[in-house]
Structure 1
Amino acid sequence: ARQLTEKAIKEKKIFSIYGHYPVIRAALRRKGWVEKKFYFLPKVVQNAEDMGSLACVGRSDPTSSQPPWPSPSNKCAEVKENQEMALEKIDNIHDVMSRLVKNEMPYFLWTIKRDVVDYHSLAGDQMLNHYGKTAAFTTKIGLCVNMRSLPWYVQANPDSFFPRCYSLCTETETQEFLDDFRRTMASSILKWVVSHQNCNRSKPKSKKAEAGSSDPSNKKDPENVDTKLRGLSGQLVDIACKVCLSYLGQLEHEDIDRPENTTEALTEDEWKDLTQQYYSLVQKDMAELKEMKETISHRCCQALLNKITSVKPQTEIDGLRNIWIIKPAAKSRGRDIVCMDRVEEILDLVATDQPPTKDKWVVQKYIETPMLIYDTKFDIRQWFLITDWNPLTIWFYKESYLRFSTQRFSLDNLDSAIHLCNNSIQKHLKNDKARSPLLPGHNMWTSSCFQEYLQKRGRGAMWGSVIYPAMKRAITHAMRVAQDHVEARKNSFELYGADFILGRDFKPWLIEINSSPTMHPSTPVTAQLCAQVQEDTIKVVVDRKLDRNCDTGNFELLWRQPAVELPPFSGSDLCVEGVGVRR
């Protein structure tokens, strides 16, 4: 133990870990590193239990006839007992080695949070798995605000991969959201008209109409009722068309030279009336509007939608319901997130919140047309690694995993259990009995399983040609925007977890980016992949320092920009002169 310790001290291979990271500990020990334990952490017993539990759930004996997951309880207990006996001897050695380096400086620190250590007092050759000031992209409000600056850094439109988002912090932001809700409402009315008239054209004469002709209640004044309903629908569509035309005019800057008194903006009362009619239309599905005869309005609606789609990349994901997702700006793991489709309820939720939390809500457009697997929603957790901010160096992980909802997808129910795929939420719920038995009981797939699923349906090329490249572009764009905000400490690195949702056209949409993504082996999928990504991270940040051509596992270099030289300091030399004053 002493010889190994002396060698580690000489080679500066002393590390410290704060948090439950047995894979990192084991990987470093295999490479000759010695751990200097935090004094406020539980000692060897916890470490042995961690190692045993990981081995029990994450590994299997290839010669055993038992399935790798889950192991029978007796077998697992027996294996764990044998491992603990072996690990007790090993940990006794490591415990001795840890005491031998108690006065040494650790050169590698892996913590669950950056604030565990004094970030600014670290020596230049100490490695840390965190950067400072990453809130610009690891918080919902930071990503929301900074994505708007993307065109200043890259020739790309953030609306093409990031659902539009508003920070409900100021009256200006709130008004922008309200305007967006109303525009989306207007375009949804046009979509509704087009979709229903297309359905009616493809069907024979409505049986409902024929049945209605024999209903005595419909014979009171059929002409008056029919005329009234058609008048209502015509007015609704006409106003929606005007709103959409006005929006298109703003995009083309036609409103710049227009006199202010010529604008035909709706009054607040007119907006409220239109909103209530819209709610009745899409949520109660007014049958009378389905009886509209095909007129010029259908062609006008379709033409307007085509124009809007050409300038607004998110028209497809907007759907018909105008659903938005309201999130606390700085929380994680899906806490306090709700879906709503009524603007007044959204604004009331934020308004009733008490300071200072009322300034920490963001609202983001919900993707109403996600890709489904067996009628179930899912998202993708994709890892990437930053090893330098100047030059910006991004490593992208080739493996990812899908997280399924426990419930079948439906827009008629806005319960978070249906629409949020976070494992921290879904693990507390039981799988819906009506859900497809083809889905995994633990609600996760590896990306390799997903590719097999696509291959069986003749869409195997979509992963390599659409999904994977688009996720790479989204991460690169997001990091380039955040680069100026992050504290770019040399010799630091950080692993992040990005969450994506696929649209029906296989296009990935970036939802959020998480720092310190969970590495808990909660399912067979995470037991395998989380251990793998941690070991590969060590390969990139430790092994590659000594050998630039070493194996980097499943990490591939995604982006490395030329280093940006800092401008030389040309100011005056400043000094302070004087004498100390003693009391």
Structure 2
Amino acid sequence: MRFFRAVDTVSGPPSSVRQRQAARRACHDPCLDPEQLKRARLHVERAIKEKKIFVVQGPYPIIRSLLWARGWVEKKLPRTSRRPEQHPGTQKKQLQEEEDDEGSDGDDSEQGEAVPFLESSEPLCPPWPPDEEEDEEEGEEQRDEEPDGIHELMSQLVQDQMPYFIWTNHCGAVDYQRLQQDQVVNHYAGVKAFTTKEGLCLNLRNLPWYNQADPDSFFPRCYRLGSADERQAFIEDFRLTAARSLLKVALERAEDAPAGMEQPPKCDEGPAGQHPPLAPQLVEEALQLCKQHLGTLGHQDIDRNTPSPRMTGTDWDRFLRECYCVLREGAVPVLSGAQREQSQALLLDIRQWFLVTNWTPLTVWFYRESYLRFCSRPFSLRQLDAARHLCNVSIQRRFHSARGRHPQLPPDRIWSCWQFQAYLAQVGQAGAWQQVMEPGMKAAVVGVLCSVQSLVGPHKGSFELYGADFVFGEDCQPWLLEINASPTMAPSSAVTRSLCARVQRDTLRVVIDHRDDPTCPTGAFELIYKEAAVPQPRFSGLKLMVKGFSLTAPCFLSSVTLKSEIKKLIYTHVGIWLLLLAQMCVGHFKLLPHDQVAMPYQWEYPYLLSILPSLLGLLSFPRNNISYLVLSMISTGLFSVAPLIYGAMEMFPMAQQLYRHGKAYRFIFGFSAVSIMYLVVVVAAQVHGWQLYYSKKLLDSWFTSTQEKKKK
């Protein structure tokens, strides 16, 4: 069962009954007096009225304490949520340490919690010292925290209430389909589009469509090896990178490279501390590979008559083996370059927080404090163990620092950003943080969020805190490794113990205090990006709804109706025409005896031409051809009406004899032929008469429409 379903389910007795039951249980508690019960009940009623009910899932004592201080009441989760028990003493201790850190000059050596490692007179505290109101607010937060069970009692009184602030430790704990508009959650749906490595790999390729930025300038080239095309692209990129790296090393060693080196070097040759010389043949191969790549980028390989020679798999294996023999000898990590102390070079990364409070429009807050994490073993390309290549605290805590570690590295292997800036000043790069590193991280964060903005499910009023991991190159440019949802707030070191508490405090300032009062301080959070809102037209009070229906011209409507009627008459005429044709065929070809089917009368032969007017009428309908319709009307009189008049006159004597004497000489299947033919003549005459009538009306309609078009 998902977390939100658990906290939003209303069960048990009504609110008043539940409050009375909780009050009766509290009466037996010797730690609570009636005055406390009354104060708790009034506090709960005010919190319900102001919609200040919250739920916290996970070990976040700072969040609980800060919300309690703002007058919020916690709705406890069921015991099945496995939430560890919170100790008020721990909350007090963390808040006290946070206050002590803000009230001191920022030097960790005075607190006795970190090893001194910098001989600098510059304070390592943020340039935004806490004001007096902030200190008073935190003091009130601590005084309001009561370790006597009052919060537990208030939690029981709001068990049937809906929480309006939900803080969970993973986004899968929230059912976003059932969220109300006034509920605030610390997660968004669909954030896997950038909080997973595959999501970053796919979506950053679309960044140029949303932002004028190149993802290859801050995110390492990334491939999905499960795809055959991308796997081949990775292999080609890997080989080309080896060639480029070899040329770079050759340029760096050009002055020191000894002359006369013709054979590829071996990794075990050469005295310690000296770089092995480069073989000219190996450098020439790398140079040719780079030339071919540049030619491909410039489309110079299209018009060539002879294709450039390509290296085989065996040649590539030999080339990469010799390249690694050279490159591994000169592998030095980024931040040891100033002193060239290979034995003490440690890989590091930086954890940078940022906060998204809205996706439409996109609103991003950047935290101006961060911390660095070091590996416990010196960096090496020969040894690929986790102690040398992964800076995660959860991984490095399993290893001990190497012997002879650098004296500036504390035992917990964590630096604050202020300690890092002081180190940069010592090595002659004092302005690198403000001019290159921090602006680069801000641009990378904004670029990532712009590329996935359409993929994340926005919920008005919600927010989410993310932790981005960066490494820095030789030019101090940041490179994004990954973005983490629900970054840990556990105090794993002296630096993070106070820093994580401040991050949680400032997060609530932005998402709660700043929403109600835009002028309130936001701590170390800085608004770095806010998308321009789409302007909405003013509502003038008028009903801007248009109702209508389709209009049809009268002439067009009558034309369609007349065509339909004429077609019905034509099909009836065709049926009569086929019957007469069948009689002629049977009589002339003697298919049946004449006493069963009599020979046709004389008028039936010219009547066969009556099919022509019907065909002309059908041909006139698609394009409203007046000429065809006129010819159809004229031919109807000549080939249809005239034969019928002649036939009536021809059969009149035989009909008179049949009427007077009751004798018939011609039969059609036992019936008098003259009677059947007279019936055919009457029906056909009516068909052709109505056909002429409707054709005349249709012709008038067409003439009227033509004249109206000429007037326009």
Normalised by the length of structure 2, the TM-score is 0.58
User: 1-side partners of 2:517 and 2:536: how far apart?
Assistant: 28
Gaps of 5+ in 1: 71-85, 210-229, 286-319, 324-366, 571-583
User: Which whole-Å deviations, capped at 9, do the CAs of 1:475-534 have from their partners, x for residues lacking one?
Assistant: 111110111111112121000000111112211111111000010001111101101000
Per-residue deviation, 1:411:
2.7
AA paired with 1:456? Q
SS of residue matched to 1:198: coil
Equivalent residue in structure 1 for 2:355, among 359, 378, 385? 385
1:240 is aligned, of 286, 295, 301, to 286
1:164-205: CA deviations, max 9, x gaps?
11111210110010110111122233234333433126xxx8
* Greater than 6 Å deviation, 4+ residue runs: 56-59
Distance in structure 1 (CA, Å) of the matches to 2:527 and 2:281: 56
- Deviation, structure 1 residue 277: 3.5
Deviations 1:519-575 (A, max 9, x none): 0001111101101000100000000111011110100101001135899xx9xxxxx
The 5 Å alignment of 1:258-273 reads 258=303, 262-267=306-311, 270-273=312-315
Kept in 2: contact 1:108–1:128 (CA 8 A): yes
The one-letter code sitting in structure 1 at the alignment partner of 2:48 is I
Equivalent residue runs for 1:211-250 within 5 Å: 233-250=279-296
Q: How far, CA to CA, are the matches of 1:263 and 1:563 in structure 2?
A: 54
Match of 2:316 in 1: 274
Among 359, 370, 381, the alignment partner of 1:400 is: 370
- Is the Cα–Cα contact under 8 Å of residues 44 and 91 in structure 1 kept in the other structure? no
1:506 aligns with 476
**Which of 153, 156, 164 is matched with 2:221 structurally?**
164
CA offsets 1:126-178 (integer angstroms, 9 cap, x no match):
00000001111100111111111111112221111111111112101100101
Q: 1:404 to 1:69 in 2, by over 3 A?
A: same
1:48 to 82, 85, 88: 88
Please state if 1:483 is matched with 2:453. Answer: yes
Give the SS at the match of 1:439.
Answer: coil
CA distance in 1, matches of 2:57, 2:536: 34
3-state SS, counterpart of residue 466 of structure 2: strand
Counterpart amino acid of residue 414 in structure 1: L
Is 1:29 matched with 2:68? yes
Whole-Å separation in 1 of the counterparts to 2:148 and 2:328: 58
What RMSD, in angstroms, separates the aligned Cα atoms of the two structures? 3.3
For 1:30-429, what aligned pairs fall within 5 Å after superposition? 30-40=69-79, 41=81, 45-48=85-88, 50-51=90-91, 54=94, 67=111, 69=113, 90-200=147-257, 233-255=279-301, 257-258=302-303, 262-267=306-311, 270-283=312-325, 285=326, 320=327, 369-372=333-336, 375-429=345-399
Q: Percent identity, aligned pairs only?
A: 45
**Could you report, residue by residue, the CA deviation over 1:356-384 in whole angstroms, capped at 9, with x for unpaired residues?**
xxxxxxxxxxx975334962221110000
User: Matched residue of 2:471: which SS?
Assistant: strand
2:202 & 2:110 partners in 1: Cα distance?
A: 51
Aligned mates of 2:86, 2:290 — CA distance in 1: 62
> Cα distance 1:245–1:432, how it changes in 2: closer, same or farther (>3 A)?
same
Distance 1:98 1:427, change over 3 A: same
- CA distance in structure 2 between the aligned counterparts of 1:169 and 1:50, rounded to whole angstroms: 47
Equivalent residues of 1:146, 1:482 under 8 A apart: yes
Structure 1 contact 496–514 (Cα < 8 Å) conserved: yes
Name the amino acid aligned to 2:373: R
SS of the residue 1:123 aligns to: coil
* Bigger share in strand: 1
Q: Is the 8 A contact 1:8 1:14 kept in 2?
A: yes
Matched letter for residue 254 of structure 1: Q
Q: Which amino acid aligns with 2:335?
A: M
Q: Tell me, yes or no, if structure 1 residue 10 matches structure 2 residue 49.
A: yes
Tell me, in whole angstroms, the C-alpha distance in 1 between the residues paired with 2:475 and 2:186. Answer: 36
CA distance in 1, matches of 2:432, 2:84: 48
2:62, 2:309 → 1: CA distance?
A: 61
- Which has the higher mean CA deviation after the structures are superposed, 24-33 or 453-462? 453-462
| Secondary structure class of the residue paired with 1:166 | coil
More moved, 46-55 vs 97-106: 46-55
Q: Residues 189 and 278 of structure 1 are in contact (CA less than 8 Å); yes or no, is this contact kept in structure 2?
A: no
> Does the CA-based 8 Å contact 2:191-2:456 persist in structure 1?
yes
3-state SS in 2 of match to 1:480: helix
Specify the SS of the correspondent of 1:458: coil
User: Larger relative CO (CA 8 A, sep 6+): 1 or 2?
Assistant: 1
SS in 2 for 1:146: helix
Q: CA deviation at 1:276?
A: 2.1
User: Does structure 2 conserve the Cα–Cα contact (< 8 Å) formed by 1:392 and 1:560?
Assistant: yes
Give the aligned partner of residue 544 of structure 1.
Answer: 514
Corresponding residue for 1:224? none
Q: Which has the larger radius of gyration?
A: 2
For 1:236 and 1:15, how far apart are their aligned partners in 2?
A: 66
Could you list the per-position Cα deviations for residues 10-36 of structure 1 after superposition, in whole angstroms to 9, with x for gaps in the alignment?
111110000111111011111000001
Structure 2 vs 1, CA of residues 56 and 395 (structure 1 numbering), >3 Å: closer, same or farther? closer
Change (3 A) 1:265 1:136: farther
Q: C-alpha deviations, 1:408-454, integer Å up to 9, x for none?
A: 22333222211211111111110001211221111111111111222
Query: 3-state SS of the aligned residue for 1:506?
Result: coil
Q: By how many angstroms is 1:235 displaced?
A: 4.5
What residue number does 1:447 align with? 417
CA contact (8 A) 2:69 2:144 kept: no
TM-score w.r.t. the length of structure 1 is 0.70
Q: Is the 8 A contact 1:394 1:558 kept in 2?
A: yes
Gaps of 5+ in 2: 1-39, 115-142, 263-276, 338-343, 538-544, 546-712
Once the two structures are TM-superposed, the CA of residue 67 in structure 1 deviates from its matched residue by 4.4
Shift in Å at residue 53 of structure 1?
6.5
Q: Which of 59, 72, 80 is the matching residue for 1:20?
A: 59
Q: Secondary structure at the match of 1:384?
A: strand
CA distance in 1, matches of 2:510, 2:475: 34
* Contact 2:53/2:163 (8 A) holds in 1: yes
Task: Give the one of 563, 572, 579 matched to 2:533.
Answer: 563
Which whole-Å CA distance do the structure 1 matches of 2:232 and 2:206 have between them? 20
Measured at CA, do residues 39 and 3 of structure 1 come closer, stay the same or move farther in structure 2, by a change above 3 Å?
Answer: same
Cα pair 2:376 2:413 within 8 Å, conserved: yes
How many equivalent pairs are there?
446
> In the alignment, residue 482 of structure 1 is paired with which amino acid?
V
